[in-house]
Structure 1
Amino acid sequence: MRSSFGLMVIAGALIAAAPARAQTFDPRFPVCMHVYSGANGGGGEWYDCSFISVPQCRATASGRPASCDLNPYYPVNAPLPRARYRRGG
């Protein structure tokens, strides 16, 4: 009985230590660009969630096989990220 409990504890520890998948959508930005690579280009498809507005995303996606979508994991009432300015000195 003790050996089976020990095996269950070890198995649980190994399962808990398994690597987790990276999050596809970044919840800090409200707009994501879905980039399609196509079958011939390889590389698959991915999401780039680093846009503050849809026009900004569309300007970046222009001329590429991509579309802009609203981020489903963005908190609706969250403030927009502040722009970072460097101080010249």
Structure 2
Amino acid sequence: MLAVSVTSSARAQTYDPAFPVCLHVWTRGNNYYDCRYTTLPQCNATASGRAAQCIINPYYAGATGPQGRDRRYRRAY
């Protein structure tokens, strides 16, 4: 018996490092990210009424890590 598997082509899940906010869209059989938003309110306006959610882009190139305090200058109590 020959079994044939039919799969739909998967769209690559990519994040554009140029924008800080992405829109995650759910459609029938195809989910994708649209990273072209500069603010959450801008993205939320696009997501309104759709099966979509705005997320912070984890690969945003302009993002900086948490700023640690320099403990040399802290006063000891």
1:61 and 2:51 aligned: no
Q: Which runs of 5+ in 1 are unaligned?
A: 1-20, 78-89
Tell me the C-alpha RMSD between the 2 structures: 1.8
User: Which runs of 4 or more aligned residues in structure 1 lie more than 2 Å from their structure 2 counterparts after TM superposition?
Assistant: none
Measured at CA, do residues 44 and 23 of structure 1 come closer, stay the same or move farther in structure 2, by a change above 3 Å? closer
For 1:61, give the aligned amino acid: A
Query: Scaled by the length of structure 2, what TM-score is found?
Result: 0.62
| Residues paired across the two proteins, number | 53
Q: What amino acid sits opposite 1:70 in the alignment?
A: I
Unpaired runs of 5+ in structure 2? 1-10, 65-77
What is the aligned-residue identity percentage? 58
**CA 1:58 to 1:22, structure 2 compared with 1: closer, same or farther past 3 Å?**
same
More strand by share: 2
Corresponding residue for residue 48 of structure 1: 34
Q: CA deviation at 1:22?
A: 5.4
Structure ranking higher in helix proportion: 1
Task: Note the 1:1-89 alignment, pairs <5 A.
Answer: 24-37=14-27, 42-75=28-61, 76-77=63-64
